[in-house]
Structure 1
């Protein structure tokens, strides 16, 4: 019964998230990421190609591997991806129960801790956003590592089992790091655990006439346990910052000032603490106002909240259990305190792992409260039930906000009207749905909030292009590449515009610039090949198109462009085969149908098939530039 409650609760609370689509960063990591669709790119997870293949800013191969598996199972059906996130979160809830029981030996504390982890709205962002799965997976392996770390000190187990437990803990810790770098605090957690829970053993060592209790005990633990985690940490840091460092990862402190950063992060920590106790309003993109002085009102309030929390810690520390719960929270917060500059200085997803400490604290508070109010336990339990239902309601409400890009963006903008990233995401949603005027307004809103945001300028240029405003489009894209020189998408879009304006040399320069930054950019290879076709450089065009197809074998447009080259070279059979491949991959392409119709008419003299494909081309695109010619051919071929 107990296990059923633990498993079923998170699945029910997040049930409505299965109806959600892909939103926000999911476009980069999943829907527009063609690499996860082909298993041959799996080896790229362990090569310099990783940044281009994953669209991740840092090295997180375990997460990217999960997307490969997801796509193999679900293709682009979002319900499957959300189901996996829900399952991982449920696994973490179960693991938290086992960890709490090992730490505290109390089923009630363990149950309340894992139920709080199941239902608290502050964790909903991680479960709802597919692209934040790194927090889920990192927590999974971190919990496994810690559980087995505690088991590796169990004096009742055999030496063989202790070694196995330690080995599992080391492997799980390494996997946690390869999921997300937040797990780097594990050695500090292990140290804190031993220092807090092993006091009796330390005291015994002292009474035996050894060195001071802390030094002696921890020195022995360093040799037998900590050294392994330190070595794993060193290996990971070498991989993260030397072997697989993303060249685009250049981030600065706010206002490029350590002092201002310290003021702002004090505000952030204060707000984090408030969110655990009062989880509203929640927001997917917090815009933290810059604090320039210690007299900043929000800074002072946050400092008071932090001080009150520290006093609460001191007053409520009935035993090491309470100390450890708070220690978990503050230690695991270290990687997201902007000590090393982060792209987002505040985000709810950063609380998923530190929040484990809060839920342990909540379990202890419930147990102590139940004991103190035992005579009035009915009132106490009623109060707790009301709190739980409010938290469940809050989580279900947050799930609904992640329904699609429109609901997500509009709600987030309502909370953060200066969120340039969300305005850009809303514009992308409008753009993909053909609402170009609204897309332009959203991109302009993003630029108004952050004038130096290159993505918004690039996307605004793409929107202007669809409106036929080519000069304004070029102006925006040129500004985007001035803001960020290594911006392959903007260079590629500039190349497309130059090609349309009959400026092939400038188009070639832009495509080459895009490929210099990202040599695995299949669209740029294809577009460069297309320009080469226009200028009669067929062999160079074939070379670029072959590169595009090597990167993305199911690239219909590249197959079509190769067919165009074979036509021009008089190789009709080769052209026909390529057209069939393009048709198989993209049956809704009007140009492919038209070309097949011409082949069937002029080469194979198959009137029926020629009619079918030419009619289909006209049906797909009635405004095709050769529409009148197609209608004429249809009249000629129709009996």
Structure 2
């Protein structure tokens, strides 16, 4: 571990030149604690967004990020084009090798850790030990594990990368008045917004920095800078909410049905986030937070009192410790977008991936407490113990992600009330041919959350495999009532109708899938099969060719196309 400067003095040129020696341990630590994750497969959203998504395999599809086809290409429910571009780049580099995608995420995380070091060094030059301590904590913090391991969650990595670069460039400009830094700052802010909408909270950091820094008050920025920030923000809002509107958006409601119950419930969520930061030993893919409807709930009262005390302490904390104050402010701002003020959370009210951005704030707070220990040997021993504990938790947690069954079995053992875990365990049973056991899991999933459209669709698949087509249709229709863009439900309905010789209904279902997702190979395949069974060979040939245009190397599709052509000749 590099020797941390002992004296509290401004960071001089010699120290600046030694920064690169601090970067090496951050890169090595990232590599060491995540090395055993490289063998893990695509899991969770990666299965749909990357593994089963032919759209990202052709760079010509990049143009769809500027059209409404974006949502079917990216498999996103919000407009986040920067993240989507990284999927294309990753596929071009790694094809479908999960290790390559994970290496890309680890590189971004290591770069983010370096930016944490640079930002803290710039913000608090009189505390030379603080940057490295904060960066080490951020690098190894276990709650960041989920964001790093699931590539389709990389929007949180990217918004932090560009958001931190935006803020760092702003501070550098205040010092040096280099106009290039203004341009970098504006560009980084734009990229942060189009990585994830939560980047808007970065705007609140500028007045916070101005409050702490006499330099910024003495050297006000040109009005054109703030005008540019405002125009970029307005442009983003226009694109996000008026141009690139999500087709067939799934309805979102507050937990408990009102803003009041949402605030009661989310107060508990906030305290749970703090608990996970402080003691990150119970990491889970889905945390269950019961909805609270009354102030008579002790946990709600405790949470609200603690939140009020935190807010009231801000002025006092500002006077005592600027680093702790700034860290607390960053943490509060980072968590604000996931407090569900505008309803968007349906099932997972608390998710570890939502903690990545605000985790820097926690690490800065923890670092500011550690530097209060004046004896550097004692401080370093404590730091090593914390990093060792963090590393053990991360390395152990990586093993929970070794395959689909392990992840969701672990989740179910931690959160028996998880509708998502029951759904995914049911899918494992279904794929193993244990249909009745799978049905029991899907039924439990919809009992826990009746609007679980995925569980209803999978239930339809289970009934389909049992040969009970009426129940399959009933389950799929229930799924579509909840989410009229559920492709799996339409697919299972189409197959059920085809089995029942109702080809017009089957064709409607497969065409609906193609309307929702023009890159869905199985929809073209199933539609072609329905046409072929019904004797419409010309239409069948056309749809097989459409499917092959997406996956030209598929032997199965090539064989089906040849069979359709042969049947057409035989039936002339």
Same fold (TM > 0.5): yes
Measure how far apart 1:109 and its partner are. 0.1
Residues 187 and 226, structure 1, Cα contact 8 Å, conserved in 2: no
Measure how far apart 1:556 and its partner are. 4.9
CA distance in 1, matches of 2:521, 2:385: 55
Within a 5 Å distance, the mapping from 1:346-495 to structure 2 comes to: 346-368=350-372, 370-371=373-374, 374=375, 378-495=377-494
Q: Which runs of 5+ in 2 are unaligned?
A: 1-20
Structure 2 counterpart of 1:535: 534
Residues 97 and 114, structure 1, Cα contact 8 Å, conserved in 2: yes
Measure how far apart 1:476 and its partner are. 2.1
Within a 5 Å distance, the mapping from 1:275-314 to structure 2 comes to: 275-310=276-311, 313-314=314-315
CA distance in 2, matches of 1:469, 1:201: 70
Structure 2 counterpart of 1:236: 236
Structure 2 counterpart of 1:191: 207
CA distance in 2, matches of 1:80, 1:519: 27
Measure how far apart 1:89 and its partner are. 0.7
Residues 497 and 503, structure 2, Cα contact 8 Å, conserved in 1: yes
Measure how far apart 1:135 and its partner are. 0.7
CA distance in 1, matches of 2:471, 2:268: 41
Larger displacement relative to structure 2 (524-533 or 554-563): 554-563
Corresponding residue to 2:61 among 41, 47, 55: 41
Three-state SS of the structure 2 residue aligned to 1:269 is helix
Corresponding residue to 2:129 among 108, 117, 124: 108
Structure 1 counterpart of 2:151: 130
CA distance in 2, matches of 1:464, 1:352: 40
Within a 5 Å distance, the mapping from 1:567-578 to structure 2 comes to: 567-570=566-569
Corresponding residue to 2:173 among 152, 157, 176: 152
For residues 383-441 of structure 1, give each alpha carbon's deviation from its aligned partner in whole angstroms, at most 9, with x where no partner exists.
34323322222222222222221121111112211111122122233434555454334
Matched, 1:141 2:143: no
Within a 5 Å distance, the mapping from 1:539-578 to structure 2 comes to: 539-554=538-553, 556-570=555-569
Q: Which runs of 5+ in 1 are unaligned?
A: 205-216, 573-639
CA distance in 2, matches of 1:232, 1:298: 41
Measure how far apart 1:292 and its partner are. 0.6
CA distance in 2, matches of 1:364, 1:242: 43
Measure how far apart 1:126 and its partner are. 0.9
Q: 1:65 to 1:438 in 2, by over 3 A?
A: farther
Structure 1 counterpart of 2:108: 88
Corresponding residue to 1:321 among 307, 323, 328: 323
Structure 1 counterpart of 2:118: 98
Residues 261 and 338, structure 1, Cα contact 8 Å, conserved in 2: yes
CA distance in 2, matches of 1:275, 1:307: 20
Structure 2 counterpart of 1:264: 265
Structure 2 counterpart of 1:335: 337
CA distance in 2, matches of 1:80, 1:312: 45
Measure how far apart 1:557 and its partner are. 4.7
TM-score calculated relative to the size of structure 2: 0.89
CA distance in 1, matches of 2:555, 2:283: 43
TM-score calculated relative to the size of structure 1: 0.80
Corresponding residue to 1:171 among 167, 173, 187: 187
Residues 121 and 128, structure 2, Cα contact 8 Å, conserved in 1: yes
Q: 1:93 to 1:521 in 2, by over 3 A?
A: same
Q: How many residues align?
A: 546
Residues 145 and 170, structure 1, Cα contact 8 Å, conserved in 2: yes
Measure how far apart 1:447 and its partner are. 2.1
Structure 2 counterpart of 1:248: 248
Structure 2 counterpart of 1:632: none
Matched, 1:117 2:138: yes
Three-state SS of the structure 2 residue aligned to 1:153 is helix
Structure 2 counterpart of 1:612: none
For residues 158-196 of structure 1, give each alpha carbon's deviation from its aligned partner in whole angstroms, at most 9, with x where no partner exists.
x5xx21111111111111122111211122112221222
CA distance in 1, matches of 2:555, 2:64: 23
For the pair shown, the structure with the greater C-alpha radius of gyration is 1
Measure how far apart 1:509 and its partner are. 2.9
Q: 1:311 to 1:485 in 2, by over 3 A?
A: closer
Q: Please tell me the root mean square deviation across aligned C-alpha atoms, in Å.
A: 2.4
CA distance in 1, matches of 2:115, 2:324: 19
CA distance in 2, matches of 1:571, 1:164: 71
Within a 5 Å distance, the mapping from 1:597-616 to structure 2 comes to: none
